[in-house]
Chains A and B, each alone.
Chain A
């Protein structure tokens, strides 16, 4: 099945008087498969919103190609827009209109049946607040209204920029269930740009991470996390005095294995498998009390990949993320660890 969204070599440069031009997109590639929830991640200023705006025809690009449902956009956007629901950046509405009227006007403008308005209000949990003017809505309620308007058309592709922004925990949970239901039960392809990495980790099937307007990595969420977790093991002993002896035993048995003492534990890397560690230590007469496989979460993988992990006493500045060489291919993700990583994710 061809990808729902295909972007290749997308470029966008903002030229400003008396200032250096800014490459918001620098040859970005993106592919989103059908029926998935796809996370689109990157540090602030990495080009996520610019990409989504370009995809929806809100801004012109300086190079590259974009396709949605196989149709080239923005040229053929009018032909496919009825199949796309989108919320880009923080949604704004006329303050004095009610939530219902806001949706009714949009539905009327596109010939969407009126009963869809009530259906989506119910779907996003705004049924009882539909009569109130948007002025009195909280940020979370506005976010729900924005998602409601994106759902009005019963889209086959849903593009949401920070959909969880401003939502309370119950709202985030509801939104996650709604989007997963749409993708997995209704076959809607969902693209979500978000900074809530724990949320993305729970919500998304696949993802693309970008930095400075280029793709760093893409693939299934589980594979990416697993691919960057490494085979790191944490080993503890009944007696901390055993730590140097255990490290020596492991490195002697296999020189490629790394064993570093960290406080009251030993961190082992490069071991073929956990059983080899227990066996080698037992043969050396050292008995362990705990052995844990260390798994990274999406946040640590993201920080590592984008180079935005904060150092003590330093603040990460906007645009201070990792630069991807122009010729670099996306990071390959090992497929074999998928099951293990999925389990870890659960």
Chain B
């Protein structure tokens, strides 16, 4: 426990942790501030009147629209618009609305440039983004903390004090995961508070009912687990490579080149659902709960569909993290401390 607390303190006191922490907090504040600045609770009466005037001016210059407005049987009499009569919504629209919809008349809404932030529909994806960024940051911090100790000789120093290597590895990984969890919860709570306040003052909160909470927390929980997995992966790669740059290189290499190669190979190989070769597909399936891949290769009307659920994705992603974690553990246990 002492070692865990010391490792937690060591990682928190690192300058990189401070820089990343400030950047993450600033990022959340800037995001909320930006939404605060661009969001409003709908146009004012004056803005609506001005927009309507602009739409009317534009429509008066459109001869087709003028003809449409002037003739009640415009669509029945005009063979070019027979298709509109088959539209299910046709009967529900007033004549003016039909002219606007099918002939191309302008509406007031076309000239109202307002954005209303809707917390109910947009909030979860923003919170999810914040948690993913927290996970990426912790992946870098964890790999940096372990890599820097190896490259500086600090790891040997620590092992002279704590010869039980598994205890050292457990404390370091545990400290990184604990910090990751705290950072995610803190950032997500801050983002939730600021975005909720923004929505309440400058937008719409919407209905945050039971199903909304259930779905949002489910997605955030899975994203949080993903972030913890990323932290474990970063720490494991640094432990294997014994250098921050090796961990960073492997991750960046996969994200940039590795996935590109996978996509090129999938295009070259005649195989159904080539997207499944990309890790991104599985990450999306894990976060969103399920993903459907469609195989159009036979050009048929009933293409094959492959469903990847969060359970499938969890098995694959968890397997990858476990594999690297086990390799790092074995390597640390067996290899000489250079």
Residues of A with Cβ closer than 8 Å to B? 53, 56-60, 74, 77-78, 81, 84, 86, 88-94, 96-97, 101, 105-106, 108-111, 149
Contacts of A58 in B (CB 8 A): 156, 159-160, 336-337
Closest CB-CB distance, B110 to chain A, in whole Å? 57
Instruction: Say yes or no: A109 contacts B7, CB within 8 Å.
Output: yes
| Interchain CB contact under 8 A, A56 and B163 | yes
Instruction: Specify which of B160, B163, B336 is in contact with A78 (CB 8 Å cutoff).
Output: B163
User: B interface, how many residues as a size bin?
Assistant: 20 to 34
Closest to A80 in B: B163
Asked if A91 and B2 make an inter-chain contact with CB atoms under 8 angstroms apart, the answer reads no
Contact across chains for B163 and A109 when beta carbons are under 8 A apart: no
Query: Chain A residues with Cβ under 8 A from B156's Cβ?
Result: 53, 58, 88-89
Given contacts A53-B337, A94-B14, 10 further A-B contacts (CB under 8 A): A57-B163, A89-B156, A92-B153, A92-B154, A93-B152, A94-B154, A106-B6, A106-B158, A109-B2, A109-B6
CA distance A59 to B336 in the complex (A): 4
Give Cα A224–Cα B334 distance, bound, in whole angstroms: 40
Chain A residues whose CB sits within 8 angstroms of the CB of B10 once the complex forms: 94, 105
4 nearest CB pairs, A to B: A92-B153, A109-B6, A59-B336, A58-B337
Q: Compute the total of residue contacts between A and B using a CB distance below 8 Å.
A: 74
30 contacts between A and B (CB under 8 A): A53-B156, A58-B159, A58-B160, A59-B337, A60-B334, A60-B336, A77-B163, A78-B164, A81-B162, A81-B163, A88-B160, A92-B152, A92-B154, A92-B157, A93-B157, A94-B14, A94-B148, A94-B152, A94-B154, A101-B13, A105-B6, A105-B9, A106-B158, A106-B161, A108-B6, A108-B9, A109-B2, A109-B3, A109-B5, A149-B157
Distance of A157 from chain B, by nearest CB (Å): 12
Where chain B touches its partner, the secondary structure class is helix
List residues of chain B with CB within 8 A of the CB of A56: 159-160, 163
Complex-state Cα separation, A105 to B3, whole angstroms: 9
A111 to B5, CA, bound (A): 11
Q: Is the CB of B14 within 8 A of A86?
A: no
Which of B14, B162, B336 is close to A96, meaning CB atoms less than 8 Å apart?
Answer: B14
**Distance, CA A224 to CA B5, complexed state (A):** 49
B79: min CB distance to chain A, Å? 79
Query: Complex: how many Å from CA A327 to CA B108?
Result: 102
A60 — nearest CB in chain B belongs to which residue?
B336
Residues of chain A contacted by B14 (CB below 8 angstroms): 94, 96
* CA distance in complex: A89, B152 (Å): 12
Decide yes or no: A110 and B154 within 8 Å by CB, A59-B337, A96-B14, A105-B9 being known contacts. no
Q: Give min CB distance, A87 to chain B, whole Å.
A: 8
* Cα distance, A108 to B8, chains bound together (Å): 11
Q: Write the nearest CB–CB distance from A191 to chain B, whole angstroms.
A: 13
Can you name the residue of chain B whose Cβ is closest to the Cβ of A146? B157
Q: What is the CA–CA distance of A89 and B338 in the complex, to the nearest angstrom?
A: 11
Write out, one digit per residue, whether chain B residues 235-258 have a CB within 8 A of any chain A CB (1) or not (0): 000000000000000000000000
Residue of A with least CB distance to B10: A105
Taking CB as reference atom, which chain B residue is nearest A150? B160
Contacts of B336 in A (CB 8 A): 53, 58-60
Min CB gap A319→B, angstroms: 19
The one of A60, A89, A91, A109 in contact with B161, judged by C-beta atoms closer than 8 angstroms, is A109
Contacts of A74 in B (CB 8 A): 163
Instruction: Tell me how far the C-beta of A208 lies from the nearest C-beta in chain B, rounded to whole angstroms.
Output: 21
A86 to B161, CA, bound (A): 8
The CA-CA distance from A229 to B108 in the complex, in Å, is 109
Contact, CB under 8 Å: A91 / B6: no
Closest residue of A by beta carbon distance from B152: A92
| In the complex, per-residue mask of B159-181: 1 if CB is within 8 Å of any chain A CB, else 0 | 11111100000000000000000
Contacting residue for A108 out of B5, B148, B153, B160, CB 8 A? B5
Residues in B neighbouring A78, C-beta threshold 8 A: 163-164
Please name all residues of chain B whose beta carbon is closer than 8 Å to the beta carbon of A109 when the two chains form the complex. Answer: 2-3, 5-7, 158, 161-162
A288 CA to B233 CA, complexed, in Å: 82
Query: Taking CB as reference atom, which chain B residue is nearest A97?
Result: B13
Which of B1-42 touch A at CB < 8 Å? 2-3, 5-7, 9-10, 13-15
Which residues of B sit under 8 angstroms from A91, Cβ to Cβ? Answer: 153, 157
Q: List the A side residues contacting B3 at CB < 8 Å.
A: 109-110
Rounded to whole angstroms, the CA-CA distance of A60 and B337 in the bound complex is: 9
